[in-house]
Structure 1
Amino acid sequence: MDAIGQFRLAVIEWAAGGAGAPAAAAAAHEVAAGTALRTAVLVEGVSDQVALEALAARHGRALGAEGIAVIPLGGATSIGRFLSLLGPQGLDVGLAGLCDAGEEGHFSRALERAGLGRGLARADMEPLGFYVCVADLEEELIRSLGAASVQRVVDARGDLRAFRIFQKQPAQRERNVEQQLRRFMGTISGRKSRYARSLVDDLDLTRAPRPLDRLLAHLSS
C-alpha cells in the first residue's frame, strides 16, 4: 500500500477512536509529514471515493500520486470529527469534499465549527472545495447518462434480469425507471461502489455530474 493509502486508513481508524486511535494518529502525522500530501477529500462513502478516482483516471490523473487522499467518512454525521482531526485545529491539511443534498447541513455546520466560515450556504461551500449532489451521486450519474444507457450498463454487468424482477416489486411499480435504478443500486452491499465505477467509465466526459466534475477541477488548482 502506498503512503496515501496508509494515510487514509490511519485517519479512518483515528477518527473511529478506541484503543487503536493513538497509534493511528501517530501514523497519520508521520505519513502527512513525510509525504507530499496536499489535500484530504472527505466523501460520504466508498462509492463516492470510487467515482471520484474513476473520473480522475478518465482524465489521466492518479489522485494519490498528486498527494490527494480521498477519505470515505462512513456517513455524513462523522464529518465534524474528521474536520477536527484534519482541519485548521488538527493536521491543517488542504480540505475538499462531496456530500448528498440531504447531508448538506451536516457539512456546512461542521465547516463552520472548524473555523472555515460562517452562515455557509451551498454557494459559500464551493470555493472551499465542498460540493453537494442533487439527491445523491447515484442520481447524478443516472441523470448524466440517461436511463437507457444505465440499463445497458446493468445488462453488461449481468444484472438486468435481477433489475427487471426488482421493478415488479409492489414498492417499485409507481416509481419511474430512474428512481428504480437508483434504489436497485443500493439494495446489496457493495453494489453502489461497483456501479459507481461502471457508470463513470461509461460517461461522456462533457456530461459528467457537475458536483463531481467541479470537485475534480478544484483539485487541479
Structure 2
Amino acid sequence: MRRVPDGYPHGPAAALAAGAALEALEALDEPRAIILVEGVSDQIAVDALARRLGIDVERTATLPVGGAQGLRRMLHTIVARFPDARLGGLYDIAEADVVRRALEDSGLLQHGGRPQDAGFFACAADLEDELLRACGPALVEECLAVNADLTAFRRLQQQQEWRGRPFDEQARRWIASGARRKLRYARILVDAAPLERMPHPLVAALEWARQT
C-alpha cells in the first residue's frame, strides 16, 4: 500500500533521475515522442494517465529533467540524438521564462513564442496542485483513507501552522513532506480523478505526443 510504483527511482536515486534519464535516452530505439517533465512524480503521473486512457506509449518516453533548470541540457541532447522525435512536456508556471529560453535556444520555439506552441504546457503551481483540485477534498480524503494515511493527514491539519488553511494547501504540504509519499500519490490521484476533470496540462502533453 505504501510502496512507490514499481520501476521508478525513489529516495536518493530520485534526485539523480535527470542523469538516469540521459542514460535512458541512449537505450531508446527511435522513439516517436518524448515527454519531458520536471521530476519523477510528474513522470509517474503522465505514465499513469497514459495507461488509464489506453494510449499506446510503446515508443513514447517520459523523462524527468531534474527541474526546469535541467531542461536546456536535455533538449540539446535529444535534438542531436533524435531529431525526428516529437517533443513535449510539462512545467510549473513559475518556470515559464526558463522553459521559454531553453526552447528558443534549442531551436524549438521562435523568439517571443509560447511554450505551448512547442508542446510544453504549464501547471498552475505544480502537477500535484492540479491533481488535488481535479479530485476535490472529498475524493482526496477518500484516497487518504483507502491508503491508511488519513490519520497522519489529520495530524497535519491540527498543527497550529496549518489549522484553518485551505484544504488544497494542507494536502499539498502533506504530500510534499515525504519523498515516497509524493511519488505514491502521483499515481493514486491520477487513478482517482474523474477524466472530465483531469488537469488540462497533463492531458494536453499526452495529446501532443499522440500527434505523430
User: Shorter chain as normaliser: what TM range?
Assistant: 0.7 to 0.9
Q: Secondary structure at the match of 2:142?
A: helix
- TM (norm. structure 1) is 0.81
1:19-39 Cα offsets, whole Å, 9 max, x none, are: xxxxx5xx845x44xx24112
Structure 2 residue aligned with 1:45: 39
Structure 1 residue aligned with 2:141: 151
Q: Does 1:187 align with 2:177?
A: yes
Structure 2 residue aligned with 1:19: none
Which residue, 7, 19, 22 being the options, matches 1:12? 19
Gaps of 5+ in 2: 1-7, 9-15
- TM (norm. structure 2) is 0.84
Structure 1 residue aligned with 2:67: 75
Aligned mates of 1:129, 1:206 — CA distance in 2: 21
Contact 1:53–1:62 (CA under 8 A) maintained in structure 2: no
Structure 1 residue aligned with 2:49: 55
Higher RCO (C-alpha under 8 Å, 6+ residues apart):
2
Report runs of 4+ in structure 1 exceeding 4 Å deviation: none
1:83-140 Cα offsets, whole Å, 9 max, x none, are: 11112x454232111011112221111001111223445xx22231110001111111
Q: Following TM superposition, by how much is the alpha carbon of 1:173 offset from its aligned partner in structure 2, in angstroms?
A: 2.0
Q: Does 1:110 align with 2:102?
A: yes
Q: Does 1:173 align with 2:163?
A: yes
Contact 1:101–1:136 (CA under 8 A) maintained in structure 2: yes
Residue identity matched to 2:102: A
Residue identity matched to 1:159: D
Aligned mates of 1:202, 1:85 — CA distance in 2: 35
Aligned mates of 2:161, 2:209 — CA distance in 1: 40
CA gap 1:61/1:148 in 2 versus in 1, 3 angstroms: same
Aligned mates of 2:111, 2:17 — CA distance in 1: 32
Structure 2 residue aligned with 1:99: 91
Report the identity percentage.
39
Q: Following TM superposition, by how much is the alpha carbon of 1:14 offset from its aligned partner in structure 2, in angstroms?
A: 7.6
1:151-194 Cα offsets, whole Å, 9 max, x none, are: 11111111101001011222212421111001110001121111
Which residue, 109, 121, 128 being the options, matches 2:118? 128
CA gap 1:14/1:172 in 2 versus in 1, 3 angstroms: closer
Q: Secondary structure at the match of 1:198?
A: helix
CA gap 1:14/1:134 in 2 versus in 1, 3 angstroms: closer
Aligned mates of 2:145, 2:35 — CA distance in 1: 32
Structure with greater Cα Rg: 1
Q: Which moved more, 1:129-138 or 1:54-63?
A: 54-63
Q: Following TM superposition, by how much is the alpha carbon of 1:206 offset from its aligned partner in structure 2, in angstroms?
A: 1.2
Structure 2 residue aligned with 1:198: 188
Aligned mates of 1:146, 1:120 — CA distance in 2: 36
Give the total of aligned pairs.
196
Aligned mates of 1:52, 1:72 — CA distance in 2: 11
CA gap 1:179/1:11 in 2 versus in 1, 3 angstroms: closer
Aligned mates of 2:155, 2:87 — CA distance in 1: 42
Gaps of 5+ in 1: 16-23
Contact 1:45–1:75 (CA under 8 A) maintained in structure 2: yes
